[in-house]
């Protein structure tokens, strides 16, 4: 059976790599069909035809599309993300600090959102059908119904402008202290937390309620165990697989879906970086950022699949 588990995990990893390859092709095709001329956007409208032709030749834009794709993919495999068309800097060196900032923001939001979502889900199950369950469900439903930009602007208006507790512009820089960095990301982290909290809480509640219908839960209740202990010790461990799946999906969103939040709070992360270079039509940077987002999303989904496989008692304890 260990061989079967290892085979399932290998299949998930292989499918993830295949999907990442397909996504890289879609990203390349998508950037190639964007309207406008890269050379023209770099040199400006006053550039001469000869200057445009020389730049296209230098950038390899005259080569067939499949050759440019293979060249780009080969560079990515070897760790070379290329050079920015607008700044001339190495993309890997430029994107590193931005990715670090995004991961920090996503990490802060995750540290708050994941335990809080699980706790609220457990409380909703414990008091199901009563006012705490209805209050938690209603509040989270209202939260999930609001788009992140609206939540962000509400926090800016009330918390930053009216109360003055935090700044509305989340500026971070190298050498910044940990406390100051936490203060800077407080509002964008709160926005992301409110966006993902509801989904995780509702999935936790649904997964545990589904397990509560099992016969062994009734046996545990007949033994005189308290309801909360039954939920925590018997129902929750057996509902961990779907909970892990939804947590990983939301963690992937925290990294990949930060574009709008980073733009709202002018946060120097990957999302803001991507938007800036889309406006400049800096194709290599857009390709690199898109591929990194895809790799993070697919990677976290693979982790969720692997955890689900390992958490399956039928695979771990075969008869």
Residue 34's pLDDT is 65
Domain of residue 211 covers: 96-280
Q: Is residue 203 part of a domain?
A: yes
Average pLDDT over residues 111-118: 87
> Is the model more confident about 199 or about 230?
199
Confirm if 59 and 85 have CB atoms less than 8 A apart: yes
- Cα–Cα distance for residue pair 285/98, rounded to 1 Å: 12
Residue 36's pLDDT is 63
Q: Is residue 239 part of a domain?
A: yes
User: Would you place residue 99 in the very low, low, confident or very high pLDDT band (cuts 50, 70, 90)?
Assistant: confident
Give the 3-state secondary structure of residue 83. strand
Query: How much is the pTM?
Result: 0.80
Burial class, 194, CB count within 10 angstroms (exposed 0-12 / middle 13-18 / buried 19+) = buried
Q: Is residue 222 part of a domain?
A: yes
Helical H segments across the chain, by residue range: 2-32, 38-43, 49-59, 65-77, 91-126, 131-145, 148-155, 178-184, 186-211, 215-222, 227-230, 236-238, 240-256, 259-264, 270-279, 283-311, 313-316
Average pLDDT over residues 281-301: 85
Confirm if 121 and 204 have CB atoms less than 8 A apart: yes
User: Would you place residue 41 in the very low, low, confident or very high pLDDT band (cuts 50, 70, 90)?
Assistant: low
User: Would you place residue 130 in the very low, low, confident or very high pLDDT band (cuts 50, 70, 90)?
Assistant: confident
Residue 292's pLDDT is 87
Burial class, 9, CB count within 10 angstroms (exposed 0-12 / middle 13-18 / buried 19+) = middle
Average pLDDT over residues 255-261: 80
Q: How many domains does the chain have?
A: 1
- Cα–Cα distance for residue pair 134/130, rounded to 1 Å: 6
Q: Is residue 257 part of a domain?
A: yes
What size, in residues, is the chain? 319
pLDDT digits (tens, 9 = 90+) for 11-35: 888 888 899 889 888 888 877 776 6
> Is the model more confident about 267 or about 144?
267
* CATH number of the domain within which 208 lies: 1.10.3720.10
């Amino acid at each position: 059976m260990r061989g079967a588990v290892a085979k399932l995990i290998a299949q998930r990893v292989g499918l993830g790599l295949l999907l990442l390859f397909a996504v890289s092709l879609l990203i390349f095709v998508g950037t190639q069909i964007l309207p406008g001329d890269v050379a023209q956007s770099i040199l400006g409208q006053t550039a001469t035809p000869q200057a445009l032709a020389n730049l296209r030749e230098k950038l390899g834009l005259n080569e067939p599309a499949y050759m440019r794709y293979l060249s780009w993919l080969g560079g990515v495999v070897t760790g070379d993300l290329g050079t920015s068309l607008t700044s001339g800097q190495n993309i890997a060196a430029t994107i590193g600090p931005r990715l670090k900032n995004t991961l920090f923001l996503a990490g802060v939001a995750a540290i708050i959102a994941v335990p809080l979502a699980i706790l609220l889900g457990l409380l909703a199950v414990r008091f199901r059908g009563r006012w705490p369950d209805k209050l938690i469900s209603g509040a989270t439903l209202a939260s999930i119904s609001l788009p992140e930009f609206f939540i962000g602007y509400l926090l800016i208006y009330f918390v930053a402008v009216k109360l003055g507790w935090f700044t509305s512009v989340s500026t971070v820089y190298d050498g910044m202290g940990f406390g100051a960095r936490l203060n800077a990301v407080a509002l964008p982290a709160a926005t992301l937390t409110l966006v993902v909290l509801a989904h995780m809480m509702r999935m936790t509640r649904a997964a545990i309620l589904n397990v509560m219908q099992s016969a062994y839960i009734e046996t545990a209740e007949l033994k005189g165990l308290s309801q909360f202990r039954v939920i925590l010790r018997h129902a929750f461990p057996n509902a961990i697989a779907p909970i892990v799946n939804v947590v990983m999906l939301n963690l992937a969103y925290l990294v990949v879906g930060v574009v709008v939040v980073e733009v709202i709070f002018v946060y120097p992360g990957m999302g803001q970086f991507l938007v800036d270079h889309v406006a400049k039509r800096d194709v290599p940077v857009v390709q690199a950022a898109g591929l990194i987002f895809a790799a993070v999303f697919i990677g976290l989904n693979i982790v969720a699949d692997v955890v689900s496989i390992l958490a399956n008692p039928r695979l771990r304890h075969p008869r």
